[in-house]
Structure 1
């Protein structure tokens, strides 16, 4: 189908649903309303996650709770595990009761209250725990439903849908990047409750921006019953690829593909269990075992790098906001005003942070700073990876999963090597920060091999009547993996006292590495069992 026909088809799709046909960068303006809503939600989630473990283990004198690493990591595991489990319930509530849009607004409001409660942690621990519960519940309503609205903006067979999710994914990473950078910095350098509270302010702005621009989406996400009927009708009108369709009627094809789904889902547990050490044991490594005090040229270089990393993303997302404002300000001024206010605040904070660091007598890298490297590498490596898949080497899904697991293992092998000289059972050390930087580089490379492929293959391999269940399985595996990440991370002291810190990290190198090699070994069989899905 030609480009013009695709554009006409998209316009017809939007008009039929009462959605605004105005465009920004050749996409519906509604996509960018969702972009900023998701950006601020990820700002709040990752900003808080960057602080959680560090706050729990920090000394009472610095405002922390001085928990043992084991206890802090166990709480981290329960929190992140439940965050990935509640979207199963939130998706069901939206489907049956509220609709997607109300679920997004309600989830954002609950998360805002959660951050506010956590900001009051100094008034009593009950506020901190209440905040965590509200964050878990709010995320369950928010996370699955905003992604659903993105998909509904486009016809099922639109070539723009993949590009739309890429843009949306950039919003996720921009928010995560800025949240870890600013909330982490303010939490560590100024006060923990300020960091927790700041995350909530931007969640609140994101909610208001979405709430006052809802008319842009027409009927999308409004009535669960109408949405289900429309999707059912569209699926009957748009035929899928005949070569695949004829095969799905065979029970053994369905069985084989379900086996592949199970194998890939279980493999993802090994990946995320290790990858999510970022907010746990890797944060501990950054805080207690990494040389973060810089002087001379090293300090000056870091200040300039940090300034660029702080301000450049703000320039990009401000440009996106300006482009959106030109299109919708006349119709949705309140939405744009709230987003503009949030950007004014974040620009002030960014400039203040850069100014403060350049005028500081000592340069100490915040322990939470290293977590921004994941988002930074995703943004810089996503295009090169897509070019490699497109022009050089594009293996099957199981092989990409395997590469992701192996690259993740290499990242932990780097940390294991970097910590080899730390004495057995040592509580602190001064290891070069280059090892953490390299680890995040390999971990992000692994994520780019596995994460974009995962949801795509769940959708392609699943029988149509089981799609919801299969996505539920995928998120349930992520929940299990996050819980395991906390539980396994809690063993850091026991393993480093009995063996060494290097041994602890090498365990996370070996387990994903073995899983990756097994996937490569069985990939020819798995490829046949996919029966034509590529």
Structure 2
């Protein structure tokens, strides 16, 4: 990749960053819309009664499948990163991955066991091609601007969570209130639109992410030789990446309870039926929470149009169509809710809180990481794990009165809201920062595969999340639901303290990388 290519990428700015970053922002937004929209529905669909259109699986079996799926979507990026590095190039890997995921969502909409497994298989393969290579494009684009990487990844992560917010909100609502098939199908529609938008706008990246040629491989080898980084520095930095990766296992094993045990807690133990003034207040709050973030994202879209519409009209028209559809669905949803006398808050609704808080706080954290008060990577990880544990502390306290075998006690929504707030603050200290540090610590020629390795550790955390979440009924019966959530309070906080203690060692291993 040439110096001129990255200079061209930085030519047209939107909100202080290259316009191309926001092409990736919206592509990733629609992919996350599809992923989190489906994730919000999967466990509820599998465990719901036949009368509600579900399959009446046990919680343990449903969470086992959930854990296997979420693990696998992080394992396959190892292969996807390798294929992109050596053969496909990052751009074609993204396009092919998005197409496979579109087929996966379409299959799940059929609602038969065979098509469920076919759909999940396509999603796993597609995600493996898509996920590591989106972040690899950013890494290559910012190769000559390392000081802006943390901020770029935080803004990119805002796009991730904008998609998750909309996906959980709309797919979850339609799946629970209208039809599971329509909820799963909606995820596929926006995955397709996201792929088309990226395909028709990809030239904005110049030479970044193109299929590798013999000449480009030779240039990369020569560049690596010229950099001549001593082997023992490379070794130490790889060790640092591995340590960061190990601690992400603890983080995601707890954090991913959001799609499993926390959703079950919302459905079975949280007071969600509202009437009178409470219902009216919720409808107003829900409408505001839906519309204001969408206005903000639409504002970003308009800023991107001003920079790119003339040159990339087709891609921008497709992106416009996506937003027209989204606005139509949102206004239909709001109108439908206001016409009802009361309301039952969907169990999936609480999942939007994480994404909403990300959209609100990501710019703040991005500025923090670029300021003189920036923390070191290990300190960010320690803080993130501690905040995550404190979030589960709210759930442990809120569920004290819930006793297995007795009449179901439904508790205030406050406890879930507080938990999601602290989980989000913890996530902002770990997830985008982890991606940034992988890109800065490993040699350029290893970027794709090392992102894959990092995601492999996240996959381990996701599988562990499913396995541990599946024990919710067993632990609740033997001890209490509060004990179950207390485990997820103590373990992350302990891991966070250990990471803070290791901070001096980590700084030495990182050899000046900040």
TM-score, with length taken from structure 1: 0.89
- Are 1:210 and 2:202 matched, yes or no? no
Deviates more, 1:416-425 or 1:326-335: 326-335
Find the residue that maps to 2:355 and give its secondary structure. helix
The 2-side partners of 1:11 and 1:526 are apart by 31
CA drift at 1:257: 4.5
Corresponding residue for 1:6?
Answer: none
Corresponding residue for 2:41?
Answer: 51
CA drift at 1:523: 3.2
Corresponding residue for 1:106?
Answer: 96
Q: What are the Cα deviations for residues 247-275 of structure 1, in whole angstroms up to 9, with x where unaligned?
A: x6373x55554444333222211111000
- Are 1:368 and 2:360 matched, yes or no? no
CA drift at 1:350: 0.4
Contact 2:384 2:425 in 1 (8 A): yes
Deviates more, 1:479-488 or 1:34-43: 34-43
Contact 1:117 1:128 in 2 (8 A): yes
1:27-46 matched pairs, under 5 angstroms? 27-46=17-36
1:415-494 matched pairs, under 5 angstroms? 415-425=395-405, 428-462=408-442, 470-494=450-474
Deviates more, 1:393-402 or 1:20-29: 20-29
The 2-side partners of 1:82 and 1:281 are apart by 19
CA drift at 1:512: 1.3
- Are 1:192 and 2:180 matched, yes or no? yes
Deviates more, 1:283-292 or 1:356-365: 356-365
Kindly report the root-mean-square deviation, in angstroms, between the aligned alpha carbons of the 2 structures: 2.6
CA drift at 1:197: 0.3
Corresponding residue for 1:398?
Answer: 378
- Are 1:152 and 2:140 matched, yes or no? yes
- Against the structure 1 CA distance between its residues 318 and 467, is the aligned structure 2 distance closer, same or farther, given a 3 Å change threshold? closer
CA drift at 1:192: 0.7
- Are 1:86 and 2:66 matched, yes or no? no
The 2-side partners of 1:335 and 1:15 are apart by 22
Contact 1:425 1:501 in 2 (8 A): no
1:243-392 matched pairs, under 5 angstroms? 249=230, 251=232, 256-386=236-366
The 2-side partners of 1:28 and 1:64 are apart by 45
- Are 1:96 and 2:77 matched, yes or no? no
- Against the structure 1 CA distance between its residues 217 and 396, is the aligned structure 2 distance closer, same or farther, given a 3 Å change threshold? closer
The 2-side partners of 1:469 and 1:479 are apart by 15
- Against the structure 1 CA distance between its residues 181 and 528, is the aligned structure 2 distance closer, same or farther, given a 3 Å change threshold? same
The 2-side partners of 1:522 and 1:218 are apart by 41
- Against the structure 1 CA distance between its residues 393 and 424, is the aligned structure 2 distance closer, same or farther, given a 3 Å change threshold? farther
Deviates more, 1:427-436 or 1:456-465: 456-465
Contact 2:35 2:164 in 1 (8 A): yes
Question: Where in structure 1 are there 5+ consecutive unaligned residues?
Answer: 1-9, 240-244
Corresponding residue for 1:68?
Answer: 58
Indicate which of 487, 491, 496 corresponds to 1:516.
496
If asked which structure has higher relative contact order (CA below 8 Å, sep 6+), I would say: 2
Deviates more, 1:418-427 or 1:99-108: 418-427
Contact 2:170 2:330 in 1 (8 A): yes
Q: What are the Cα deviations for residues 128-163 of structure 1, in whole angstroms up to 9, with x where unaligned?
A: 111111111111111111222233334523655444
CA drift at 1:401: 1.6
The 2-side partners of 1:337 and 1:368 are apart by 31
Contact 1:221 1:227 in 2 (8 A): no
